[in-house]
Amino acid sequence: MIRKYIFLALLLIFLSSCTPAKSKTIVPPTTIAPTYETLPSSTLPIPTKGAESSIVILISGTVKDISLSTRVITLNESVNDFNTIAVTEESELAFSNGSEITLRDIQPGMTIQITGQPGESNALLANQVLVLNSTPITSNKQSNDQQIDAINTIRTKLDLPELPLEFIGTSIMANSPNMNLEVALYEDTDGRKYSVNPRTNIVIEIDARSILLNISPDTPLMPEEELESRALKYILATTPDSETLQADLMYEYGNKEDMYFFSWYDNNTVGLINRPFAQVGLHKRGVLFAYYNTLSLAE
């Protein structure tokens, strides 16, 4: 009987050793390689105001205007979100032939190429300004003399001093009928700026706002009626056929604190952005600080 139990026990041990064990599947670790996408440089974001960046940007554009006092070039259209170029003393200025220029040589209508770093909003701090398709503008002596003669003539008519003049360059007159008239710009030693139409050698703008701070408080005040009479005298003296024109012009008068404006507008023209007009700006002490006359541009 005992042998029987021993036999059964040995049989059970044998059978259990023959039962296949459950296998455990081991999954090898998987390494996923990272992927990168390189964006073309043209799609890189432009740093915003105040961002620290060493990015140098290259743009080309057409000059619309230039301010010598603040050393800023304005482009006709925004290029890469920039429409103004700040030119510092360290900026390199050159023509495409490599010759050196000054900021005064850059004129409206020129195509320029600028490298620089982003500055304030919509401004590029220039490292280099290169004029691509233009040659230096030189003043024709005969034209220059005629323009100075025109300035001297109108200074006599407007009771302005005949101070030495300096040719600044050419600029675009925003108040011209189509906002695109190129004028020759001169400045006297008091800071008055004279804009001359180079086609007709007629002075069409005088900007003398810079002298307002120099008006002596001891200068007598002038009654409004006398200011108005003086403004009319100036327009009659500087506008051909002005007495005939007066019937067709709309007269407006106004003031802003100490500054008085007397204006005559031509409302008979169509298709122009700005109405041709004549205007005299006088300080309450009788000092002329502004003169416009685009009536000769109405045709």
Domain map (residue ranges) of the chain? 55-131, 141-297
3-state secondary structure of 159: coil
Half-sphere exposure (Cβ direction) of 197: Cα atoms closer than 13 Å: 17
The Cα diameter of the chain in Å comes to 152
**pLDDT interval class at 132 (50, 70, 90):** confident
Token pair 């051909």 in the structure block, residue: 240
Mean pLDDT value across residues 237-253: 83
Contacts of 223 (CB under 8 A, 6+ apart): none
pTM beyond 0.85:
no
Amino acid at 207: D
Would you state the structure tokens that stand for residue 299, as one six-digit string?
């045709």
pLDDT at 53 over 70: no
**pLDDT interval class at 10 (50, 70, 90):** low
Mean pLDDT value across residues 208-221: 94
Look at strands 202-207 and 288-293 and give their pairing: antiparallel
pLDDT of amino acid 215: 94
What's 50's DSSP letter?
A: T
Q: Is 259 exposed, middle or buried (0-12, 13-18, 19+ CB in 10 A)?
A: middle
Contact 63, 76 (CB under 8 A): yes
Contact 208, 191 (CB under 8 A): yes
pLDDT of amino acid 1: 55
pLDDT at 66 over 70: yes
pLDDT at 217 over 60: yes
- The helix (H) or strand (E) run that includes residue 231 is helix 224-238
CATH number of the domain located at residue range(s) 55-131 in this protein: 2.40.50.320
**pLDDT interval class at 33 (50, 70, 90):** very low
pLDDT at 281 over 70: yes
Look at strands 249-256 and 202-207 and give their pairing: unpaired
- The helix (H) or strand (E) run that includes residue 38 is none
User: CA-CA distance, 282 to 154, in Å (whole number)?
Assistant: 16
